[in-house]
Amino acid sequence: MKIALVTGRIAYEMVREVAEKIMRENPGVEITVIQLPIPVAAMMTSEYLLRELPRHIDSLRDKDYVIVPGYTRGDVSLVSRELGLRIIKGPRYIYDLPQMVKYILKGVEFSTIEPADSILEAEKEKIEVEVLREAREKASVDKYFDINGIPVSKHYPLVVLEVYADTPRDLEKYRVAASHADLISIGVPIGFDLSKTQRIIEEAKTLFNKPVGIDTGDMDIINELSRQVDFINGVSIENIDVLTSMIHAIREKPIILVGGRGVEPKKLVSTARYLREHGLEKIILDPVLQPPLQGLIESLTAYIEVKNMQSEFPVLMGVGNITELVDADSIGLNALLAFIGVELGVELYLTAEASVKTRNATLELKKALEMAVIAKKLGKPPKDLTLNLLVLKDKKLKTSIPVRAENRVVAVEKSPWKPDPKGFFKIFVDHSNKTIIVQYYKYGENKPVLEIESRDPYAILNTIIDRELASDPKHYFYLGYELAKAKIALSLGKEYEQDRELFTVD
């Protein structure tokens, strides 16, 4: 296949390098790079191409495709017809060209009007969805064992959400987080009331409709609840004698065997083998991930050793030990830990949302693990996927500096606050219900006259306008500004406080 890439002067060398890379990776593809006398390729229009491309017609005549920059303005189909060439628009970014050529070779059609980006994204998404589908399918066949129908496998990693509840009612706050988890682990302190724990387990099974286990070091509770739960977490190798004495009760239950600091990986593995010989077939190993500056590197080394010395037992990594014990945004921590874990071959990941700063951590971890599965299958870093965890920053430059107006004013003064005679508003974010709450007050009154609730700030503002609850245009600007902050806070799982900035980056 013969392809011509059209570009401007500034990008010429970069496009030529990319063209050479494409030809190395795709034997049989010949690429010619055509440089037009324009500095920036994004300045091209269909009219410009109609004027300039005829000068290169001898180089273009035998090409199967002529790819012009994605930023080219106008429909290039007219240029195609006039010159008798098959001209299509490429992507906006040079480094997406190799992917476009691969899709051309597969027969994917590109546009003369729209940049190739949307088609590339759609094709990439198809591939990623198929990778995840295949991973789940393989997991259902090639597995260690099931946990109440959920396969534990090397092909598709599982997320275990640790929840803490004193009463069944406390479980409600985990409803959203649990929707992104595969398994639910209920933390039970030593000596906790048995009947209360039983009620919590039953409510968790009904509320979450997922396998539910307990995480406890209390062997008496384990013995009493073994028939009620789907798996048992937090069993220390120090309790091996007690564990073997109750094998008749827990023989069919998956056990997460915990090592930890001071426990040699060899000891953890040999204990698991000993228990298997005594009748426990479903064992998961947890070498225990330590927090940074408290043994993190040593514990990662233990994970490597455990994976290298055996393949008969799946391994769990408690990423919540990092996200809960580091004052940094959990989204980046979850991403890095998921990528490390999948590279090591870890099969299960335990997380928690025990604090405000780890709100949404379960979703973050699930998404990061799926990115890792896709990237590993495709043999590339977790980059340039349709899935990503870029929330506060962007991957690509999407805006340009506008043409500046001749008349410019630098705004320096903020107008003094004046009360709106119609009244005032208090704004809150309810993360449990994913809504914004706005209360309307009249001056001199301690109770709100009206409460407005919605996930959509526009709907709230429209209600305020329709009911004429404000009169000052500056008040409406203020409400719009605060509602936008509330919406961002809701989306990010961040706390919102009226009249205070959301972020501090200085």
pLDDT (0 to 100) of residue 396: 67
Over the chain, what is the mean pLDDT?
A: 93
Does 367 score more than 90 pLDDT? Answer: yes
What CATH number is given to the structural domain containing 218?
3.20.20.20
Number of domains the chain contains: 3
Q: Which residue has the tokens 């994976």?
A: 307
* pLDDT score at 43: 87
CATH value at residue 20: 3.40.50.11600
pLDDT tens-digit profile of 164-181?
999 999 999 999 999 999
Shared domain for 350 and 319, answered yes or no, is yes
Model confidence at 277: pLDDT above 80: yes
Residue 396 domain-assigned (yes or no) = no
Q: Is residue 236 part of a domain?
A: yes
Residue 402: pLDDT band with limits 50, 70, 90: low
Residue 467, both tokens: 């009911």
Asked if 87 and 117 touch (Cβ cutoff 8 Å), the reply is no
Residues 346 and 410 reside in one and the same domain: no
The H or E element containing residue 127 is helix 117-141
User: Which alpha helices (H) appear in 142-264, and where do they start and end?
Assistant: 175-178, 194-208, 219-225, 240-245, 247-250
Instruction: Please tell me whether residues 348 and 220 are part of one structural domain.
Output: yes
- Give me the mean pLDDT over the 354-378 stretch: 96
Task: Report if residue 14 sits inside a domain.
Answer: yes
Residue-range definition of the domain harbouring residue 234: 133-378
Domain check: are 283 and 428 in the same one?
no
- Per-residue pLDDT reduced to its tens digit, 228-273: 999 999 999 988 888 888 888 888 899 999 997 889 999 999 999 9
Residue 355 gets the label, from left (phi > 0), alpha (psi -120 to 50) or beta, of beta
The structure tokens listed for 258 are 């915990």
- Phi first, then psi: give them for residue 490, nearest 5 degrees: -65, -45
Per-residue pLDDT for 192 more than 90? no
As a whole number of angstroms, the distance between CA 307 and CA 42 comes to 51
Is residue 383 included in any domain, yes or no?
no
Q: What is the pLDDT of residue 455?
A: 96
Using the 3D structure, point to which of 71, 86, 115 is the last residue of a domain. Answer: 115
Helix (H, G, I), strand (E, B) or coil at 321: helix
Indicate whether 236 and 175 sit together in one domain.
yes
Same domain, 152 and 202: yes
In this structure, are 165 and 314 located in the same domain?
Answer: yes
What angle separates helix 361-378 from helix 117-141, to the nearest 10 degrees? 90
For residues 246 and 338, membership in a common domain is answered with yes
Q: Are residues 417 and 443 in the same domain?
A: yes
CA-based torsion, 112, 114, 116, 120: positive or negative: negative
Q: Establish if 281 belongs to a structural domain.
A: yes
Task: Please check whether residues 41 and 137 belong to one and the same domain.
Answer: no
100 in the same domain as 171: no
Express each pLDDT in 20-66 by its tens digit: 999 999 999 999 999 999 988 888 999 999 999 999 999 999 999 99
Count of Cβ atoms closer than 10 Å to residue 80 Cβ: 17
What confidence category does residue 401 fall into, taking pLDDT thresholds of 50, 70 and 90?
Answer: low
Residue 378 pLDDT > 70:
yes
Report the distance separating Cα 103 and Cα 131, nearest Å.
17
Over the stretch 82-93, which tens digit does the pLDDT of each residue have?
999 999 999 988
* Contacts (Cβ under 8 Å, ≥6 apart) of 478: none
Answer yes or no: do 302 and 162 share one domain: yes
Q: What's the pLDDT band for 131 if we cut at 50, 70, 90?
A: very high
In sign, the C-alpha dihedral spanning 431, 435, 438, 439 is negative
